[in-house]
Amino acid sequence: MSDFDWVVRGNIVDPHGIVENGWLAVQGGKIAARGTGAAPAARDSVDASGQWIIPGVVDGQVHSGSQANQEGLGWASRAAAAGGVTVMVDMPYDDPEPVASRPHLDAKIAEVERDCHVDVGLFGTLNKEHGLAAAAGLIEGGVCAFKFSTFEATPGRFPRIEEDDLYEAFRLIAPSGLVCGVHNQMQEMTRKNIARLIEADDTGWDAFMRAHTPLIENLATALIYEIGAETGARAHAVHVSTSRGFEICNMFRRNGHRASIETCVQYLMLNHEEHTRRFGAKTKHYPPIRPKAEVELLWTHIANDECTFVSSDHVSWGLERKQNPNVFKNSSGGPGLETLLPAFWTGCEEHGISPSMVVRQLCDNPARHFLLDDRKGTLEVGKDADIVILTPERYAYDPSTSLSAVQWSSFEGREFTVRVAGTWCRGQQVYDGRRIVNNKGDGRFLRPRKA
């Protein structure tokens, strides 16, 4: 008689160590037992000997709805599973309207439960149309974080929140214990720089980085943390691409403030001299991809365990939005759900950093950040059986095989050192290394625990 639904054997990566030749036993969608040596009886078994077993990735920055009728949560969740992501935390800036009211949130929850293959947490935001009072309904409705911006990326959909309103929003949200994440970019400085370069007809592949100086980012980062310090809210800079940004965060942390910091895998694995020169506007993100020297400085902060978590900032723009010779007329962002895990793992390996750091940055830390750590983020007994098997393998990434809504990537041709061989969410297999094997609607909406 079997004791468990299934067991898996392999090298288990925990946040602070590796268990070689370990096993996990799954029962009822949860990790029911774990150990080394002979595994217990089970109805099914998976032999991952010589492979890595890690928790499902929590991607804390996904934009599945930025372009209406293009990708959406369901399609994005397929790419997530192929990338070992079992939890997408989706941003609120959907086209045509952001998730700034309870009805918008409820509609998005219904989309998760209808279409998704993996689990999903949701950001909310606040805007002038629905007002700051909408925060209470969004919190009650189950958002696991709020997102704001110091820059208007798109009128209406992605507005700027001015500093006095940002202060009031932080003050209202602080008692909930939910994080206040902010897009860190000074609007006036950005627009002046872009106008000056356009007037000079300086709009080629390298102009975007020169327009978006480190100072534009760093001043906004400091502003976010200062408002957090004034209000007691959990202040979070959502995509830091400079070493100075980490220094600023560390300063606030040392003084007892609840400051957190995130970078995206592209800022660690791409550089201006090589990749932006090669791919042009495909690598256009905000912040911009930085020079190689700055990229290596970012890795020192990863090695020192100073980053809260690493995300993808995934958005599946069609290539028609990436091909204008004027770099400023192209959209910012790119697909990343499938490359987050293999790219970051490869980068850690290349920098002599343990696989345990991958699990901290992609699994454990983001689960804690979004108050999902009672279920997600580690392979501890009692947690959801969100399990990913990684095969050690060197290969050049080919985006033509992507399960995303688009088949292009600024990681095209980049050599990775692991491949996702299988993904399970709450004990159910979602991806078998080639295709999606569960049904849409098997994913669940995740409410945060009480802070």
CATH code at 86?
3.20.20.140
The reported pLDDT for the residue numbered 14 is: 98
Q: Is 363 within the bounds of a domain? A: yes
- Please say if the pLDDT value at position 2 is more than 90: no
CB of 169 closer than 8 Å to CB of 148: yes
Q: Is 43 within the bounds of a domain? A: no
Q: Is 339 within the bounds of a domain? A: yes
Q: Beta strand 309-311 with 259-264: parallel, antiparallel or unpaired?
A: parallel
Using pLDDT thresholds of 50, 70 and 90, give the confidence band for residue 3.
confident
Quick one: which of 252, 251, 222 has its CA closest to 237?
A: 222
Q: Is 292 within the bounds of a domain? A: yes
d(C-alpha 243, C-alpha 297), whole Å:
6
Using pLDDT thresholds of 50, 70 and 90, give the confidence band for residue 156.
confident
Q: Is 27 within the bounds of a domain? A: no
Average pLDDT, the chain: 97
Specify the number of domains making up the chain: 1
- Please say if the pLDDT value at position 413 is more than 60: yes
The reported pLDDT for the residue numbered 256 is: 97
Using pLDDT thresholds of 50, 70 and 90, give the confidence band for residue 1.
low
Mean pLDDT of 162-167: 96
- For the stretch 313-340, pLDDT in tens is 999 999 999 999 999 999 999 999 999 9
CB of 335 closer than 8 Å to CB of 380: no
Enclosing domain of residue 187: 55-370
Mean pLDDT of 224-240: 98
The reported pLDDT for the residue numbered 392 is: 98
- For the stretch 186-228, pLDDT in tens is 999 999 999 999 999 999 999 999 999 999 999 999 999 999 9
Quick one: which of 70, 137, 72 has its CA closest to 105?
A: 137
Alpha carbon 88 to its chain centroid, in Å, reads 7
d(C-alpha 311, C-alpha 54), whole Å:
17
Q: Is 424 within the bounds of a domain? A: no
- For the stretch 113-134, pLDDT in tens is 999 999 999 999 999 999 999 9
pTM of the model: 0.97
- Please say if the pLDDT value at position 170 is more than 90: yes
**DSSP characters for 224-277?**
HHHHHHHHT-EEEES---SHHHHHHHHHHHHTT--EEEEEEHHHHH--IIIIIH
Q: Is 14 within the bounds of a domain? A: no
Residue with tokens 């940055």: 361
Q: Is 30 within the bounds of a domain? A: no
The torsion angle over the Cα atoms of residues 186, 190, 192 and 198, rounded to 10 degrees, is -170
d(C-alpha 296, C-alpha 314), whole Å:
23
